[in-house]
Amino acid sequence: MSLNLSTSHSRVGDHSNEFTSTGPLLAFLGPAGTYSHQAAHDRFAESVHYQPRNTISDVFDSVGTSAQLGLLPQENSIFGSVMETYDTLRSSDVGKSKWIRGTATLSIEHCLVVRQGKTMRDIKTVLSHEQGLGQCRRFLATHLPTARLVSVASTAAAAEVVSTQADDVADGAAICSKICLRLFANLEMLREGIQDEHDNFTRFYVLANDASSPLPNAWHDGSGERNALIRLEALPESESQSSSPPTISGLLAALGLPAARIDRRPSTTVSRERFRSVYFVEVVDVMRSDGSRPSSQHSAKVGRSASLSPWKERVVAAVARAVESGGRADLLGTW
């Protein structure tokens, strides 16, 4: 997947509260200055405190303990789904004490950063994570063909090295995220968007320890919800409530909601059946051009609730239908 969104062996930096805020704590995949940090700041700005964590699992575990929110990398447009995130979403805590409450999408823009006052002619060394160097090959070959390329633990580490270089040897440049300019002193950006590919996007899930309270810096309330994430599993006939063996296609049909994406991971359920799977189905509220919605062929057996939005009522009813059809179904969140 994309740069700095995989597990790092380096330790998290000391920049967990680098932006003043009176809001909740948000955990992200560190260290400070990664693209996860950039995505979090683009989404929440100064409305939260930022808390870097060493792994995606650490981010997940932080929500509900030391943090109220977490940002989980979900998919990269080049490298695909993030398996470690989906592995955490197999936890029974999701949908009970932790919920998916939104998304954030970041365009991966690599920046060339130097000490203030330096120019392209001064650069003799370029530092970055190995993926950052690899993703900027054409730019480096064209503009810095004689520079020595040095791989370091993270893009943030590269920026920190350049920031702390003594003036008389400050001939290094870093390839890193734009947010590093806010974290480390004495830096300026010479070029932005120097990566070879310009269709590199990473999408994140926002995980929260509350199912309905408005998110910080939110642009809409619950009445604007149009997405949901549902976890589905076809149970063996011996465990199912259905008279016929359930299938994943049957459970999807029972949902009766348009699926925007489906991801699969091995099931953690203890069973004699081999190769059982759990599916993560992201459904979306489709609206016709005239403002109406397609009618469901399924009757909802869930009573109306004044505390639920119309969309969440439909999703809760869909989950109930999947259970009636012989599956295990859990609502992991709406947004």
pLDDT tens per residue, range 33-50 = 989 999 999 999 999 999
**Measured distance CA(27)–CA(49) in Å, rounded:** 9
Per-position DSSP letters for 265-298, written without gaps between them: EE--S--SSTT-EEEEEEEE----TTS--PPPSS
Domains and CATH numbers, the chain: 25-107+200-208 (3.40.190.10), 111-192 (3.40.190.10), 222-334 (3.30.70.260)
Structure pTM?
0.79
Report the amino acid identity of residue 145.
Answer: P
Percentage of residues in the chain with pLDDT exceeding 70?
Answer: 82
Nearest to 52 by CA among 32, 67, 33, 79: 32
Q: Across the strands, what pairs with 208?
A: 69, 99
pLDDT at 1: 30
The pLDDT of 100-115, averaged and rounded, is 96
| pLDDT of 305 | 55
Compute the mean pLDDT over every residue in the chain, rounded to the nearest whole number.
86
Give the pLDDT confidence score for residue 229 in this predicted structure.
98
* Residue 39: partners with Cβ closer than 8 Å, 6 or more residues away: 28, 71, 104, 105, 106, 202, 204
- In the block, tokens 């009618």 appear at 295
Q: What is the pLDDT of residues 189-212, one digit of tens each?
A: 999 999 998 888 999 999 999 998
3-state class (DSSP) for residue 92: coil
pLDDT computed for residue 271 by the predictor: 61
Among 151-155, 164-168, 173-177, which stretch is predicted with the lowest mean pLDDT? 164-168
Range with lowest mean pLDDT among 49-58, 113-122, 221-230: 221-230
Query: Which of 5-19, 39-53, 167-181, 303-317 is least confident?
Result: 5-19
Average pLDDT over residues 212-234: 82
Average pLDDT over residues 294-303: 49
Q: What is the pLDDT of residues 172-194, one digit of tens each?
A: 999 999 999 999 999 999 999 99
pLDDT-based confidence at residue 274 (cuts at 50, 70, 90): confident
Instruction: Report whether pLDDT(7) > 50.
Output: no
Q: Which range is least confidently modeled, 7-21, 43-57, 61-75, 233-247?
A: 7-21
Strands 111-115 and 125-128 turn out to be unpaired
Q: Which two tokens stand for residue 284?
A: 């979306």
Question: Dihedrals φ, ψ of 70, to 5°?
Answer: -145, 150
- pLDDT of residue 71 exceeding 50, the answer is yes
Is pLDDT at 231 greater than 60 in this prediction? Answer: yes
d(CA 105, CA 107): 7
Cα 99 to Cα 335: distance, rounded to the nearest angstrom: 10
Q: Is 203 exposed, middle or buried (0-12, 13-18, 19+ CB in 10 A)?
A: middle
